[in-house]
Structure 1
C-alpha cells in the first residue's frame, strides 16, 4: 500500500503589535514606596514598556498584530486558516478567551478554535506544539494561526493600589502571532514540553482585605510574592529553561553552540544572562527586548522574534531555538526551527 508521508509543519511567518507610545519608568517612580522587593533582581525595572490603550480589547490587539501577516500573505490566507489557537493573559470576559471573537472579526471559519489558558510565558511554544500535532494528524487542515496577547500591564499593574509595588514597573503589553502551514520551508525540527504540576500552587494572587477575585469588595488584585518564593522561582527558572533547550538540541543532534538565534521569554536581565551563559552563546545570539518592552509574558517570544526578523538579524536557513518557562515553573518548553521567514528585500515579495 502506498502511503504518502505527512509534510512537515513550518512556522512561515511571525508578526507583532505593541500598543501606544513607550512608557518610561518615571510613570511608576512617582508612586513608588520604600520596598525591599525593589532591590531584588526579579523586580529591577526595564527602561520602557507599552500599555494597552483605554478601551482597547484583546481582540483589538490581536487584529493589529495580524495586519502585517495580511499585508504579506493576503486577506484570504488569514481568513482561511484551518486552526486558530489563542492565549490571552487577561480575558476581556470571564471564562472566554478571544478565539471565537477574533475569528468573527477576521471573518475566519476555522475547523478548530482553541483558547489556551496555560503555558504562561512559554505559551507560544505550547501553541506551536498543539498546532503541529493537529496539522500533522488532520489530513484536511493545511494552516494554523497562533496568537498570544499580553494585556495585563496596563490594566492590572497600573491600579492605584498595585502601581506603587516594585512588581508593577516590570510588565509591558503586546501581542505576537505566528502563521504555520504544512511545508518544509521553515520546518519545526523538534519541540520539548515539560509540565511540572508539583509547582502549580506556587504562583498566587492576593487582594487586601482578602477575598476571592470574583467576590464583591474593596482591594485590588496583585501577584503575591514573598522573598523566599522569589528565591525558589529564580532557582527553578535558571534550571528549567536550559534543561529544555539542551534537550531539544540533543534531539536534533547539535550542541547549543550551533544555535544561531536563541529567543526566550524576557522576565528580567539576570535570567537572560544566566540562560545565555548556560547555552554558551553570545549576547548577539540571544536577543534582549526587556529594556524596550518589559516583561511581555507569553507575548515575549513572538514579539522578540518579529523584532529580530524585521531587523534582518535572523537569516533563512539559520537554526533558531525558542525556550521559556511559565508561572512559578509549572511548565517549560523549547522548540528548534530551521528559519525560513526572513522578510524579502525592499521592492520584492
Structure 2
C-alpha cells in the first residue's frame, strides 16, 4: 500500500479529567529547603496543580476522562473501539498496564490493547502515530488513546520529596483522544524522532543504594543534577520547534499560520521560547500550566480539551501539537485539521 492509498485517519474528539484536589503552591513552600534551586527556570512553580485522591487509580482517572466521549458519541461507538492504547506515568500494577482493566470497565473488546511506557511528555503524539498506523494498515476503524499523569500526588508529596525544588511543578490529570478512519478531522502529518544518546540523563532514584522495588530507606523520585538540567533545557528549547517545523514543512504551511499550537508544559520559559521560535502569539499557544502544572503526557490533550470546551478551537482550523520527552530522548509533533468544535 502506497502513502496515497492509505485511508485518512482523524482525531475526532478529545476529553479529559482533573482530580478534585486543587493544591496551591503554599502547600509546598512550607517544606521547601532550597530557594536557589526553586529559582531555577526549570522549577518555577505554577499557581495550582491537581493531585489524585488517596486510592484513586490510573484506570479510575481514565474512566472519568472517557465519560464525556461516551456522552457525545454514544456508548455503542466507544464500546466498538478496535484499538486501545494507554500511557500511564505511574502504573498501579507494574506487571500489568492499564489497558485490559480499562477495556473491562468500558465494555470494550478491542483487537489491539497496547500499554506504552515510552514517549514521556510526547506520548499523546506517539500514541496518535501508533493508532494511525494500525488503522491505516488493518481492518480496525476506531482507536482510543489515553494519557494518564498520576505521580504528582503520589510521588511528589512524599515527606522528603515534597521538600525538593521540582516538587511543586507536576500536576495530575488524564487526557484521551478518539481516532477514526474518516476525513472529518484529518491528521495531516506526524514527525517522531528518537535520540537514544540522551536516555541516561534522567534517572529514577531513591537517593540511596536501594533499587525502587527493594526494602530499605529512601523515597523514589525522578532526579536531575544541575549540570544535566542545563543540558535538558538547551535540548528542549531546540527539539520541540524542530519537530513542529518539520511537520509544517511537510504539510506546506508556514508556522505563523498555525491557528492553535499545543505543547507539553514543563515551565513558562519553555512555553515562551517555543512560541517565539514558531512566530506565534500567546493567544495561538494556549496552556494550562498555572492551573495544572506540568501534566507530562496528559498536558497536550488536557489543554486541547480545555480550549475546545471554551470554544476557542474552530472547526477547520489548523492545530499543531509538539512535545519532547524525559531528558530529550524522544520528540514528536502532529498537525490536524480540527473537527471537534462543540455543538452549540
The TM-score range, normalised by the shorter chain, is: over 0.9
Q: State whether structure 2 residue 4 is matched by structure 1 residue 15.
A: no
Point out 4+ residue stretches in structure 1 off by more than 3 angstroms: none
Aligned length: 341
Structure 1 match to 2:209: 210
- Residue 276 of structure 2 corresponds to 277
Q: Which residue of 1 aligns with 2:136?
A: 136
Work out the CA distance in 2 between the residues paired with 1:316 and 1:274. Answer: 27
Structure 2 partner of 1:296: 295
Q: Note if 1:31 corresponds to 2:23.
A: no
**Counterpart of 2:218 in 1: which secondary structure?**
coil
Give the structure 2 partner of residue 116 of structure 1.
116
113-122 vs 89-98, which moves further: 89-98
1:6 shift after superposition: 4.0
Contact 1:35 1:165 in 2 (8 A): no
Instruction: Give the superposition deviation at 1:210.
Output: 2.1
Judge conservation of contact 2:21–2:53 (CA < 8 Å) in 1: no
Deviation at 1:36, TM superposition (A): 2.3
Task: Name the CA distance, whole Å, in 1 between partners of 2:209 and 2:293.
Answer: 29
Q: Secondary structure at the match of 2:51?
A: coil
Instruction: Please list every run of 5 or more consecutive structure 1 residues that lacks an aligned counterpart in the other structure.
Output: none
Deviation at 1:209, TM superposition (A): 2.5
**1:5: Cα distance to partner?**
4.4
Task: Output the aligned Cα RMSD.
Answer: 1.0
Helix, strand or coil for the counterpart of 1:200?
helix
Contact 2:187 2:334 in 1 (8 A): yes
Partner of 1:244: 243
Equivalent in the alignment of 2:258: 259
Partner residue, 1:229: 228
Paired residue for 1:66? Answer: 66
Distance 1:258 1:273 in 2: 18
TM-score, L = length of structure 1: 0.96
Q: CA deviation at 1:92?
A: 0.2
TM-score, L = length of structure 2: 0.98
Displacement of 1:22 in angstroms is 1.6
What is the alpha-carbon distance in structure 2 between the residues aligned to residue 79 and residue 272 of structure 1?
37
In structure 1, the residue matched to 2:336 is 337
What's 2:192 paired with? 193
Q: Post-superposition shift, 1:21?
A: 3.3
Give the Å deviation of 1:34: 2.9
After TM superposition, give the deviation of residue 226 of structure 1 in Å: 1.4
CA distance in 2 between partners of 1:206 and 1:109 (Å): 37
Task: Give, in whole Å, the separation in 2 of the partners of 1:201 and 1:32.
Answer: 27
Contact 2:21-2:52 at 8 Å conserved across structures: no
The gaps in structure 2 that reach 5 residues or longer are: none
State the Cα distance separating 1:35 from its structure 2 match: 4.2
Please give the residue correspondences for 1:71-82 in structure 2 after superposition, counting only pairs within 5 Å: 71-82=71-82
Q: Whole-Å Cα distance in 1 between the matches of residues 281 and 289 of structure 2?
A: 17
For 1:209 and 1:141, the matched residues in 2 are separated by 47
| Contact 2:122/2:322 (8 A) holds in 1 | yes
- Alignment partners' CA distance in 2, 1:120 and 1:293: 17
Deviation (angstroms), 1:31: 1.0
Give the match's secondary structure for 2:28.
helix
SS in 1 for 2:319: strand
Distance in 1 (CA, whole Å) between partners of 2:218 and 2:121 is 26
Give the 3-state SS of the residue equivalent to 1:11 in structure 2: strand
1:157 aligns with 2:141: no
Deviation at 1:52, TM superposition (A): 0.4
